[in-house]
Each structure stands twice: as structure tokens, then as C-alpha cells.
Chains A and B, each alone.
Chain A
């Protein structure tokens, strides 16, 4: 049995007060394991992003606990939480959020620079990861000179450069055409996923479901069940 990467128990999150109160996440509990690619799917407004923010240490839940490798992340200081994100989690944002005024390699090196690694060393490491994601020779280009798929790869390189245990991708195919989206996720599956890493992807895109190990379905803030990817396992296995 693979080791648990994230253990979420009884997560609740609401926004607003009184009549304007919105219960975005309702009593969600689940485990994510090392070596697996877990998808979080559901319609818009189902609480996917809110839940993702809670488990990655960005948004404090109103109740519930999140343990990452036995650390209760919502029971540590703000600075410790920032350190936790910096060292343990890699983010690939939906709009990439690359710095257009920095070169590609500088963008990738940002997590290492935040870890206070020397500038040149950080850039050398970043260049290696750019090579891993297939962008060798693009180091000095600004991100705006790259295609959407290439920018996505830069964002992935930035997410993995600090060797995080958990990689979180938010709608990784939303800005890409079908083929490019599939290629990017396939690349992540084949090159980034490892026994020591857990990858969680929030997506609407059913065309990439085949790359998931498990698919976690959400609706109206509730966890409605798990599926194993039909293409990978060939069966449905609600938990």
C-alpha cells in the first residue's frame, strides 16, 4: 500500500455571513497517496479549487484537518506554512502566472531563489529542469515568446524545480488545445510522477481522465465519490 501523502479529514469552508453565506466545501475527507495521480473533477462551483487551496496550505478551512506527511499544516505558524509550501508543494497555476519580465530560466528558478539558493546555482538547476520538460535552448527567452504549451511546461518546470513531494496542477489544459493538453498531462504522468511524488490535478477536461490513477468527484462542495480511470483500470471503484 503506497504511503499517504495528504490526509484530509472533515474539511469545511464557507464564505460570507448570513444570507450571503456560501458553503464551498462540506465535510470532505480523503487521502492522496505518493505515486498516484489524483484528479479532482466536478462542475464549476463544486468547491474543487477551494478544496485544493485548503490542502495546499493557501486557504484556512473553517473546520477539519489536513496532514501532509504527519504535519498538521493548519496548526503551524504563517511563516512555517510558507516554508512548507516552498519545500513540499509545487504549483502549476491555471494561467501559469509566469513573470513576463524575467527569462524562462529565471522564472523556473524562482522557488530555488526563494529557498535562498545562490543565483547561479539556482539558474543551473532551473536549466536542467527546462531540459527535462523539453525546452532546452529556450532559457533566455521571455515567456511571452513561447507557445501556450511551452509556457505550461515552463510552469511545470518551476513547480518541480525544488523537488516537491506534492504537485498541484489547476486546470492544466484549460488554455491549451486538445492535443497539446493531452501531451502536457501525458508528459507529467510519464516524467514527473514518481513513487515519491503525489500529483493532484483539478480539471474539467474529460479528455485527460485516462491519465489519472483515481478521480475524485465533487458536487456542491461535497465529495461524491472516487473513480478509477476507466482507461487505466477499466472499472469504476467508488470509495
Chain B
């Protein structure tokens, strides 16, 4: 490290009170920013859990559908029409809906029920116990062993329950990539069993899941589906649509944005003000350095180094604190929805860079203005 930066480092860290205040300010701001955005990312991921777990390339739906949970049933002929589109390798129906289970102890529990195509079982979860062919057995359901599984109260293979006066029995346990948003257990069964067990409207297909022959066929399939009066979205597009809904049409995104901006302002206020005070207190020393022969760019490099060092250290602590809090929260709240993504970290990093830039800009302006002559005048 160049000597001038070593001096800058010592000036910064040896002023313990201010250094800690700076670190706390930035750590707190980074923690809040990452925590907020991670919660949001977690919620968005869970909101799209069915899309992620089923994994179909193309989803055909009513154009008014906003989220995967709010389905608008499609008539059966849509399935036939989609199957007739050139470029479709196969298309299968999917049922996705809510049901009320009566457990062995007599209590009721809401559940999300997914009905898979009877012939292909496309989108089936990965079993951790039991056999997939048992799903065709009488009253058979597969329970997803995720953070909500405990709400089935000790369910295991062979556990029975009632669903709309029908007997249900768990024949397998499975896991999926992403848990749902609404805090209820998930059961998988066949499409036709869901129609028998769960009261339905005239139309029954929640989504038509499509696999194109080649990626080049996707555009044509989408066009043909739109021409038929429906909407076809790729998996990523559907996830984006769900995200868009939660971000911009629920107020959730706006609230998160406000919280993130507030975190930024808090961080900027604490660290900016502390850094400014730090510079003010050392202003005569910087003036003395200038008189001795330090060049303006050397003083700027000192301030930039100090701001960068404290910001990056605060960023590291903030990320660590956030990871710790999420880990602790998951110990006690298994369904705690928070995901630290590269995007969250990147956003917080950019915010920290902005905080460091503004703080150092204030410092640099002050230091460049000080005249060595003022040091002589006292």
C-alpha cells in the first residue's frame, strides 16, 4: 500500500469513535437494503413457485391471468387447439387450486392441490419416499415435504385425510425447488382426480403446459395461441409477469422501494455527516499536508481511499449481518421468505458506492478549498 494511503488508513481507523459510527451507519444501511430486497426476492420467488416447480417451457392461459395462483379456467378445446399448432411437441393440462383438508385430528388445513396430466405426469415432483406410480392408486396424493409440510401434522406415507368428503391418502413424499407463497402445504395428484375431488366451474383446465419441438417454434406457438384469444408465455415471461404484478399492482413494490430509499437516506445521512465531521476535524491537518508539499490529487486519493475503505467494510458487515439474520430467522421460521440474490447484492453495492461518492465529494470539496495560508494564519 502506498505510504500516503497508509496514513489515510491510520487517520481513519485510529479515530475509533468516528470509524465505528461510519461503519455502523453503512452496515445498517446495507443490512436494511439487502434485507428489504431479499424479502421481496423471496416473496417473488415463492409467488412463482408453481411455475418454477412444474418447469414447463410454455404456459397457455387466459389473458387476464395476473399470477399463477389466480387461475381463470380454460375450456377443454383450448387443449386440443394448442395440440394442433405446428411446432408443439406435446401439450398437457394442469390443475392448480386450493382445497380444504380435514386432518386425522379433526382440524382443517388449507392446501394447494396440483393436478398433473394423467398420462404423462408432466411436472411431477422429485420423490424422496414412495413410488410415483402409486399416484394412480385410489385416493392417492403426494405431499410436498417443504417448510409447510409440518402443517399436515405428522403426515407420512399412509396418512389419511378428507378432502371435500372424499378420502385421501398420502402415497409419497416429494420435494420441489421452491415453496409456495401462501404458507399452505402442497399436494400433487392426477388431473382427473382433482376434478373429482374439488368442486369446479364449467371449465376446468388451469393451464395448458406446452413443450415446443424446437426453441424456434416458440414464437409461432405464441402467435397462434394469441390468435385463438389466449395468452402463451414462456416460463421466464410468466415469472416476470407475476413479478410485475406484485411490484407494480399491489403496492408491495412501491413500499419496498420507499423502504430501500429510506435505508439509503439513513445510511447516507449517518455516514455522510460523520465523514464530513471527520474531514472538518482534520481539515487543518490536510492544510498542513498541503503546505508541506502534498499535491491536491494525493489528498483526493486519501479521502477516496478512506471513503472506499469504510464503505466496503460496512458493505461486508452489512451483507454478513443480513445473512446472519436470515439464517437465524430460518431457524425459528422455516418458511421465512428471503433470498439474497446477486441483484440484491449488486443494488446494495451500487447504493454504497453512491454513499461513498457523495461522502467523499463533500470531503474533497472541503479539502481542496483549504489554503495552506489559512494554516499559517491559524
Contact = CB atoms under 8 A, between A and B. Distances in A.
Interface of A: 49-50, 52-53, 56, 58-59, 78-79, 82-87, 89, 91, 93-95, 97, 99, 101-102, 106, 110-111, 113-114, 116-119, 122, 158, 170
Contacts of A79: 295
Interface size class, chain B: 20 to 34
B11 to A, nearest CB: 5
B15 A59 contact: no
B295 A118 contact: no
A111 B2 contact: no
B157 interface: no
Contact of A82 (B10, B15, B294): B294
Contacts of A82: 290, 293-295
Interface of B: 2-4, 6-7, 10-11, 14-15, 282, 284-285, 287-296, 298, 371-373, 375-378
Contact of B2 (A83, A84, A116, A158): A116
Closest 9 CB pairs of A and B: A86-B293, A113-B3, A97-B288, A101-B14, A85-B293, A58-B372, A59-B373, A53-B373, A82-B295
Contact of B375 (A93, A99, A118): A93
Contacts of B10: 101-102, 106
Chain A contact residues: helix, strand, loop or mixed: helix
B298 A114 contact: yes
24 contacts: A49-B376, A53-B376, A58-B376, A84-B293, A86-B294, A91-B292, A93-B291, A94-B376, A97-B285, A97-B375, A99-B7, A101-B10, A101-B11, A101-B15, A102-B14, A110-B289, A111-B293, A113-B4, A113-B6, A114-B4, A116-B2, A116-B3, A118-B3, A170-B376
A197 B11 CA distance: 32
Given A113-B3, A114-B298, A119-B3, A58 B291 contact: yes
A87 B291 CA distance: 12
B292 A102 contact: no
A93 B288 contact: yes
A114 B292 contact: yes
Counting chain B CB atoms within 10 Å of each CB, which of A50, A78, A85 scores highest?
A85
Nearest to A103: B10
B13 to A, nearest CB: 8
Contact of B291 (A83, A85, A101): A85
Contacts of A102: 7, 10-11, 14
A79 B299 CA distance: 13
Nearest to A88: B293
Contacts of A94: 376, 378
Given A93-B375, A170-B376, A110 B6 contact: no
Contacts of A110: 7, 289, 292
